[in-house]
């Protein structure tokens, strides 16, 4: 079976995947009223984040920067869903402890994606020069 070792070594991908595993367990403990509305949306959005990270890994520099911006927006949406769950804690939502843990995980992912985006931006002119010199 083929495995992409480069993607497996991408730390932001691993963190996002681990966040999905953690959040799936969180969603399974939500009250029914939240599990099938907020919980489903949260899981779909985290899967979208992982998909965007994979796409960014394979994109050219310009596309990569756009995909990483999309990842940052997706993280903001995830943060909103987590906050909504926390605000519904009295009716079986997210506990204060889980809210804090989720916020820390989201912040860590945000920092990693910002760093990846920044490194892609600083590499762009170098890649363009190398491409131009080969072509002409």
CB 29 within 8 A of CB 3: no
Q: Who has greater pLDDT, 124 or 69? A: 69
CATH topology of domain 10-128: de novo design (two linked rop proteins) (1.20.1440)
Q: What is the mean pLDDT of the chain?
A: 88
- Domain extents for the chain? 10-128
Residue 122: what pLDDT?
82
Question: Closest Cα partner for 102 from 20, 13, 30?
Answer: 20
Q: Which pLDDT tens digit goes with each residue over 17-62?
A: 999 999 999 999 999 999 999 999 999 999 999 999 999 999 988 8
Residue 71: what pLDDT?
98
Residue 51 burial (10 A CB sphere; 0-12, 13-18, 19+): middle
In angstroms, the Cα distances linking 82 to 28, 40, 57, 123, 129 are 14, 12, 26, 34, 43
**Structure tokens given for 61:** 């520099």
Span 118-132, mean pLDDT? 62
Question: Closest Cα partner for 43 from 81, 10, 14?
Answer: 81
Longest dimension (CA), the chain: 66
DSSP 8-state secondary structure symbol assigned to residue 14: H
0.75 exceeded by pTM: yes
């Amino acid at each position: 079976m083929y495995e992409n070792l480069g993607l497996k070594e991408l730390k932001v991908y691993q963190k996002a995947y681990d966040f999905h595993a953690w959040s799936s367990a969180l969603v399974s403990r939500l009250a029914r009223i939240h599990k099938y509305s907020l919980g489903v949306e949260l899981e779909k959005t985290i899967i979208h984040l992982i998909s965007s990270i994979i796409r960014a890994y394979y994109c050219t520099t310009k596309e990569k920067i756009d995909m990483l911006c999309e990842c940052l927006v997706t993280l903001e949406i995830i943060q909103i869903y987590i906050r909504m769950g926390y605000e519904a804690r009295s009716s079986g939502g997210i506990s204060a402890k889980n809210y804090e843990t989720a916020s820390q995980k989201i912040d860590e992912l945000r920092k990693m994606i910002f760093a990846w985006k920044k490194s892609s931006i600083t590499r762009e002119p170098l890649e363009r020069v190398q491409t131009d010199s080969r072509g002409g």
